[in-house]
Amino acid sequence: MSKSYYFTLIFPVLLLFLGASIIGIKQQNLTPETFVPVAVLSVLFIIVQLVSSKFKSKADQYLLSIVIFLSSLSAVMILRLKPDLFTHQLMWIGIGLVIFAAVVFFADRLLDLLDYPYVLGIGALVIICSVLLLGTDINGNRNWIILGPVQVQPSEFAKLFIIAFLSSFLSENKNVLTLPSRGWKFLHFPPFRFLAPLLLIWSAAMLMFVSLRDLGSALLFFGIVIIMTYVATGKKIYVFLALFFFSVSSYISYLFFEHVRTRVAIWLHPWDDPMGSAYQIVQSLFAFSYGGIFGTGFSFGFPLLIPEVHTDFIFAAIGEEFGLIGVSLLLLAYLLLFVRGIKTAFFCTNEKYKLLAFGLSVTMLLQTFIILAGVTKLLPLTGITLPFISYGGSSMVSSFISLGLLFALSTKEK
């Protein structure tokens, strides 16, 4: 392992210990026991980085280094915002790291599944349909399955199946999808028998998410499908077709679901009800304003005024206490993660691997954009999480699976 990778571990470990120290001092509860869970996570960071660099010496180690930094920031912020959930978040980060190592180790067998696109597509639909039978309505979205003390969000894992399906299907049928057989004026489509599987999988997933009122996942899935299809085929007609269907679906959702109308009203006119339905987004805007350029300082802001700040609005807490400088560094970390993922896609010579690496990379960036746009009122608020930072087991585990696949693909063709 080169010295540069050792250096990348220093800052996340220091961030963990410094954050725990500040919280302990402020709460007048700084004891040796305070640093035990932090020390365990730090050791796990080092072990996973060492093992991954040894097992996959030619892989892009900076992918893991960036995520370790994001995970450290996540742990520190959860300790600041919800101390009672701190141990749970460390547990999910630890589980995510172990699953990351398992995905890297069994990557060859997992990638063999790309030879079965329809199995992947059906698997995605089965996961989505499971919410119809077993789902529980939380905050207006029926997208959770409660298994005892654990809450699972199936859409986090369904998106991985959708990405894998698109990577396989588009690579196998790219040439056919780019050859028009019939059309009307400027609309030209390939033979329907080749277009049907793509439309069926996408439409079924979109309709199910709309019926479940999980519009954040619907927007994310829409973005994944349209971007990957356009990159694979280069045909603008698929972009226009997808935009048309998404616009119709959005309008129908607005007409039939009060939950959607409320979110649109909050987005357009938050100051009409700042102490009621728009309280969350208004407090988020105040947090960014109060943070300014340099922030209030860690643990010196008032992010707890924002309801559920540790999940959807954790970015607002970071903006308040670390300011524009801290937010810019965080965005730079996500951008670097995207660039390293795209670099992996460029290095792959296998078309399926190339599309898979691209899909995983663009999904992380798109998910980050959607939640940040919602928190800053650029878009209506959705219920998706900030990758590797927001509290939640399903999001953390699925994100580490994506990272493991990208990490394995970065050395697959070398």
Average pLDDT rounded to a whole number, residues 50-58: 81
Confidence of residue 205 (pLDDT cuts 50, 70, 90): low
Distance CA 333, CA 341 (A): 12
How far is the C-alpha of 306 from the C-alpha of 284, rounded, in Å?
Answer: 7
pLDDT at residue 316 tops 60: yes
Q: Which residue has the higher pLDDT, 145 or 99?
A: 99
**Statement: residue 144 has pLDDT above 80:** no
Name which residue leads in pLDDT, 323 or 264.
Answer: 323
Residues 6+ apart with CB under 8 A from 151: 138, 144, 145, 393, 394
pLDDT at residue 237 is higher than 50: yes
363-375 average pLDDT score: 91
pLDDT over 70 for what percent of the chain?
A: 88
154's tokens: 């199936």
355 confidence band (pLDDT: 50, 70, 90): very high
Mean pLDDT of 268-297: 89
Residue 93 φ/ψ region, left for φ over 0, alpha for ψ in the -120 to 50 degree band, beta for the rest: alpha
Mean pLDDT, rounded, of the chain: 84
pLDDT of residue 1: 43
- Where is pLDDT greater, at 192 or 303? 303
Q: Is the pLDDT of residue 113 over 80?
A: yes
Q: Looking at the predicted structure, is the pLDDT value of residue 142 above 70?
A: no
Q: Are 70 and 347 in contact (CB under 8 A)?
A: no
Span 19-46, mean pLDDT?
87
pLDDT of residue 183: 55
Residue 359 pLDDT exceeds 80: yes
Contact 222, 242 (CB under 8 A): yes
Of 115-119, 236-240, 333-337, which gets the smallest average pLDDT? 236-240
Q: Is the pLDDT of residue 176 over 70?
A: yes
d(CA 136, CA 12): 36
**Once rounded to an integer, what is the mean pLDDT over residues 112-132?**
85
Please spell the DSSP secondary structure of 126-183, one letter per residue.
HHHHHHHHHEEEETTEEEEEEETTEEE-THHHHHHHHHHHHHHHHHHHHHHHTS--EE
Residue-level pLDDT at 409: 92
The average pLDDT across 70-75 equals: 94
- Check whether 139 has a pLDDT greater than 70: no
- pLDDT band at residue 148, thresholds of 50, 70 and 90? low
The mean per-residue pLDDT over the stretch 262-276 comes to 85
